[in-house]
Structure 1
Amino acid sequence: MLEKIRYRLVFNRQKKLNRQGTALVQVEAYLNQRKIYLKTNVYLKPECWSREGAQVINHPQSNELNAMLYEYILYLQGIELGYWKRGIPATLSLLKDAVKKKSAVNVSFSTFAKSAIDNSDKKQSTKDNLHSTLAVLHDFRSGLDFKDLTYTFLRDFEQYLREKGNAVNTIAKHMRQLRTLINEAINQGYMHADAYPFRKYKIKQEKGRHEFLTPDELKKLETVEVEEESMRHVLDAFLFCCYTGLRYSDFCQLTPENFIRVNGKRWLYFKSVKTGVEIRLPLHLLFESRALGILD
């Protein structure tokens, strides 16, 4: 039998009035011989509260305040019911945490995931990747709920990505992003750990193959005639990355402050976006100083 949380309204639990002569109305939530108290932001004078009826009396807005108090209890009950629907036994800790986060009563996985991404302290590039996967999920199945996230769903999503022409490693990337979001949902109590769909699902991946430009191919790029200025900038950026070995993400973050003179020679100092490692490159020693030619 499910142990439901019991709720009741209590007034002036601290037995102390504030300077205005009022005290707070709280909701007492009781479960398994434990209690927590949740504030309603309703303050009343003692003569405006009926302990027997647990309601506001003798107040010009008695009806409105009583309606607001009972709507708040309904909100709490809705949060509790939402946990049960997701197969998670509702606890006082989960309830208190949900109230603190101002959780919606019936939040979908899609809504949760977007909020989790936006409020995380992850790098912006990581957030962008997660949002990209979320957009693909929306195209596959909009209004995704937590109960939809099953092993069968993962197989169907994989098949959908394959039919859309995605490569094996692209599919693997989306699956890893989805796994990250599901793990966060479990950590925050939106899903039960027993419902973890990746328990039996294995993410398939192929060994990546790195392509390199030959000296002849690089020479052709260096000598190609480009009339449009914007395309010239793109080509210069690509060649600069070739000469220095920079990832595109590292190139995009460069500013004039990254170029330092050491003993009269220009060096490139930067921190890798992907690894966080600080790197120092002597530009005058790389590819016969060709990167410097682009800068100049």
Structure 2
Amino acid sequence: MESMQSFGIQFVARASGGAENLVVYARITVNGSRSEVSLKQRVEPADWNPVAEKVSGRKKENKELNQFLEKVRSRLSNIYRELLVEGELPTASMVKNYFLGIDEAGNTIQDAFDYHRKIVENDISKNTLHHYKTTEKYVMEFLLACYKTENILLRKINYKFITDFEYFLRTRKPVDHQKPMQNNGVMKHIERFRVVVRLALKLDWIKTDPFRSYQIKFKKVERGFLEADELLKIEETEFKLPRLALARDLFVFSCYTGLSYIDTVQLKPEEIHLGTDGNYWIISSRQKTGVSMRIPILPKAWELIQKYTDNPRSKFNGTIFPVISNQKLNSYLKEVADLCDISKNLTYHLARHTFATTVTLSNGVPIESVSKMLGHTSIKTTQIYARIVDSKLSDDMNFLKLKLEEQKDSSLKRTV
């Protein structure tokens, strides 16, 4: 059995937490899969020899550290052999857990995240998968900060663990962005964590659901959108810089189709179809959910499709429009907003809200049709995006007034 397994131990040192000295890690590899454990030892960068995987020099503390590393190597090797003797096919995670003292029978949080990633990575979008990885990162940060460990048994998760994790997210000081996490951001991470934990419940890795008494509470957020005059201003503004013209065109295209960023930049010519009504349609599926979309192409959207038909970048990628990253696109849209004297926070997703609110619902398109075009599985989701603006309410009330006046006149005529 041992010959069927490949096993290796490597010591690596890298910067951590902005400190000057490096932290030493033991990297365990079994059959190509890896797991790392921090040895809580720091070394000066000049002393670390990455080829020899130890520290150089004759200093007493360096000699002691090298002796410690050899003991760790011996201990990890013995753990691997013991697991083999016990009839197990060890994984890197199992060796690491045993070394850390998590040698009780049972699966860990890391096991749950690993298994979840394995079964969904081909079924969800890259963006959604990235969100799950971020949630996993925060869970591991929480374990280190509050439990002084890199892993924990699933059965040790309880209501207090979840509420402590929530508090950790709310009070976490951001290092990669400026604003602290808001309520809905916290709830999204807990929601994803709940998905992973409940998967473990279905696998019988835990016997009870630690989330059974916990309520996820999202706050309603007013979604921004452009008024008709603001959208027209963006459409009619001339941009000398090609990058800004492209950003504007992609944004306006979404305002008239409701497509998200990823669905717009990945839209292909073969997804444009001539319908039985004589009009062209976008017939595709949302990248995020796989839900089908059938969207009649409005004249402004068709004009933009024609504009980029012969674009070399589009042809090279086999797409309708030249591909541009979401980050750059949103950055350029800030410039577009400034040049158009629009104070609203112009992001690409705002176009989707504008389609739902200003372009469709405000012009009398039924919410069921809007929901279908947006690729939603529930009208409740559409209601979050789309609100009836004041102008539509005013038009509806004026129509009602006219109708009431007509009824009144008709009644008077009958009386006479």
Q: Tell me the TM-score normalised to structure 1 length.
A: 0.58
Give the helix-richer structure, 1 or 2: 2
In structure 2, the CA distance between the partners of 1:249 and 1:71, relative to structure 1 (3 Å rule), is closer
Deviation at 1:77, TM superposition (A): 11
Give the secondary-structure state (helix, strand or coil) at the position aligned to 2:131: helix
Q: State whether residues 118 and 127 of structure 1, in contact with CA within 8 Å, keep that contact through their aligned partners in structure 2.
A: no
Give the aligned residue type for 2:204.
G
Give the aligned residue type for 2:267.
L
Q: Deviations over 1:49-94 (max 9, x none)?
A: xxxxxxxxxxxxxxxxxxx997534254998x989936x6xxxxxx
Q: Specify which of 150, 160, 163 is matched with residue 168 of structure 2.
A: 160
Give the secondary-structure state (helix, strand or coil) at the position aligned to 1:268: strand
Output the CA distance in 1 between the equivalents of 2:158 and 2:280: 55
Deviation at 1:127, TM superposition (A): 2.5
Output the CA distance in 1 between the equivalents of 2:84 and 2:225: 63
Output the CA distance in 1 between the equivalents of 2:237 and 2:111: 49
Deviation at 1:253, TM superposition (A): 3.6
1:266 lines up with 2:280 in the alignment: yes
Give the secondary-structure state (helix, strand or coil) at the position aligned to 2:137: helix
Output the CA distance in 1 between the equivalents of 2:123 and 2:289: 13
1:134 aligned residue = 136
Give the secondary-structure state (helix, strand or coil) at the position aligned to 2:226: coil
Root-mean-square deviation (CA), in Å? 3.3
Deviation at 1:119, TM superposition (A): 3.3
Q: Specify which of 203, 211, 223 is matched with residue 188 of structure 1.
A: 203
Output the CA distance in 1 between the equivalents of 2:225 and 2:204: 46
1:281 lines up with 2:295 in the alignment: yes
Q: State whether residues 109 and 152 of structure 2, in contact with CA within 8 Å, keep that contact through their aligned partners in structure 1.
A: yes
Moved over 4 A (4+): 68-71, 81-84
Q: Deviations over 1:247-282 (max 9, x none)?
A: 334324421111123476422111234554433222
Deviation at 1:137, TM superposition (A): 2.1
Give the aligned residue type for 1:117.
R
1:46-195 alignment runs, 5 A limit: 72-76=84-88, 85=104, 108-120=108-120, 121-125=122-126, 126-142=128-144, 143-147=150-154, 148-164=156-172, 165-190=180-205, 192-194=206-208
In structure 2, the CA distance between the partners of 1:255 and 1:187, relative to structure 1 (3 Å rule), is same
Output the CA distance in 1 between the equivalents of 2:193 and 2:260: 25
Deviation at 1:193, TM superposition (A): 1.9
Give the secondary-structure state (helix, strand or coil) at the position aligned to 1:144: coil
Output the CA distance in 2 between the equivalents of 1:197 and 1:151: 6
Deviation at 1:146, TM superposition (A): 2.4
1:37 aligned residue = none
Output the CA distance in 2 between the equivalents of 1:77 and 1:293: 61
In structure 2, the CA distance between the partners of 1:69 and 1:204, relative to structure 1 (3 Å rule), is closer
Give the strand-richer structure, 1 or 2: 1
Deviation at 1:173, TM superposition (A): 1.1
1:292 aligned residue = 302
Q: State whether residues 112 and 199 of structure 2, in contact with CA within 8 Å, keep that contact through their aligned partners in structure 1.
A: no
Give the secondary-structure state (helix, strand or coil) at the position aligned to 2:219: coil
Give the secondary-structure state (helix, strand or coil) at the position aligned to 1:279: strand
Q: Tell me the TM-score normalised to structure 2 length.
A: 0.42
Output the CA distance in 1 between the equivalents of 2:83 and 2:143: 33
Output the CA distance in 2 between the equivalents of 1:258 and 1:122: 21
